[in-house]
Amino acid sequence: MTGLTLVTGAGGFIGGQLTRDLVESGIAVRAVDCKPLDQWFFRSDQAQNLKLDLRDMDACSDATRGVEQVYNLAADMGGMGFIENNKALCMLSVLINTHLLVASRDNGISRYFFSSSACVYPDYLQNETDIPGLKESETYPAMPEDGYGWEKLFSERMCRHFREDFGIATRIGRYHNVYGPFGTWDGGREKAPAAISRKVAMAVISGRHEIEIWGDGAQTRSFTFIDDCLTGTKLLMASDFVDPLNVGSDEMVSVNQLVDIVERIAKIRLKRSYKLDAPKGVRGRNSDNTLIRQVFDWATSISLEDGMEKTYRWIYDQTKARAEGRAFVAAYD
């Protein structure tokens, strides 16, 4: 594609790194987010950077005007603590995808990517810690994560019907717990890899060798490093594959095992306490990568240990800088 590409949610973690990747590839990018520009995680001077609230139809019309393709990564979301306590806010993100699809139809957008989530999978398949990977075909009968998952599943259907009825080449990636440096690492919206990295870093810096873990630590997940997420996203966007597709790692670990990994990286052992009444989501979740291997002969390749090494080092630097009263954001390596 040689025309202008729109990235929404460009001030966030995945959207910001996708913008960086596309710009470095020589692609003209219009980057849009509702946050003030000085609050974006990444901002490229080579992109058109716009502050727009895409819950508004007029903003979506402005954002898509003159654009050839759209990566929609905009959503009001965060880690499990945010999702479980802000169901209505999460569901209001349906306005973004709905208005963007309408604007894309009206402005002649040829190709449209929607960032969905593993939260669309039924909770009745995720009641045990030792579960097989979730297959794309197992989405129905539907019982997704309340709030956030329902919004994602409804938006997937919207994409499907806009493809069928209006000819927009919609593509849907179901992300599984994307993490890495340059993401949210505190404030309540961070996910488990970032939260654990911050807690371990604080233990190292403060000398208080203890950590609080949400739940009993036995709950399981798979985590996808940002570089793998970007590769899978671009493969799917450029392809002729029209159905939702998992973009995630199948390296499943427990939360306790994730803490073990970060402790090894930090060369520390911590006393663990467990907050059993904290938000913790489903008991087990993992990605089945059979289909993405069949379609692209590809799956994620960055191990959790390697990805967490990079993530922890970056978050440690942020945490130490804050403790010393200074700002620190290293250039992307």
Q: Which of 111, 90, 86, 91 is nearest to 100 (CA)?
A: 111
280 Cβ neighbours under 8 A, 6+ residues apart: 80, 214, 215, 219
pLDDT computed for residue 87 by the predictor: 94
pLDDT computed for residue 329 by the predictor: 66
Contact call for residues 270 and 202 (beta carbons, < 8 A): no
pLDDT computed for residue 77 by the predictor: 85
pLDDT computed for residue 333 by the predictor: 37
* Cα-only R_g, the chain: 19
pLDDT computed for residue 328 by the predictor: 66
pLDDT computed for residue 205 by the predictor: 97
Q: Quote the CA–CA distance of 190 and 182 in Å, as a whole number.
A: 11
Amino acid at 121: Y
Question: What's the mean per-residue pLDDT of the chain?
Answer: 95
44 Cβ neighbours under 8 A, 6+ residues apart: 19, 20, 23, 29, 31
Mind listing the pLDDT tens digit for each residue in 288-326? 999 999 999 999 999 999 999 999 999 999 999 999 988
Residues of the chain with pLDDT under 70: 1-2, 328-333
Strands (E), 215-310: 220-222, 224-225, 245-247, 252-254, 271-275
Contact call for residues 296 and 237 (beta carbons, < 8 A): no
Place of tokens 């994602």: 152
pLDDT computed for residue 80 by the predictor: 81
pLDDT computed for residue 52 by the predictor: 98
Q: Which of 127, 90, 106 is nearest to 220 (CA)?
A: 127
pLDDT computed for residue 330 by the predictor: 54
What DSSP line would sit under 120-164, residue for residue?
A: GS-GGG-SSSS-PPBPGGG--S---STTHHHHHHHHHHHHHHHHH
Contact call for residues 47 and 111 (beta carbons, < 8 A): no
pLDDT computed for residue 274 by the predictor: 97
pLDDT computed for residue 1 by the predictor: 44
For 111, list phi and psi in degrees, rounded to 5: -145, 140
pLDDT computed for residue 81 by the predictor: 84
Q: Quote the CA–CA distance of 291 and 220 in Å, as a whole number.
A: 22
pLDDT computed for residue 302 by the predictor: 97
Domains of the chain: 5-179+224-247 (3.40.50.720), 192-221+252-323 (3.90.25.10)
β-strands 252-254, 220-222: how paired? antiparallel
Instruction: Tell me the pTM.
Output: 0.95
Residues linked to residue 114 through DSSP beta bridges, in sequence order:
72, 172
Query: Number of H helices and number of E strands within the chain?
Result: 11, 13
pLDDT computed for residue 2 by the predictor: 57
Burial class (CB in 10 A: 0-12, 13-18, 19+), 163: middle
Active-site positions?
A: 148
**Cis amide bond preceding 141, omega within 30:** yes
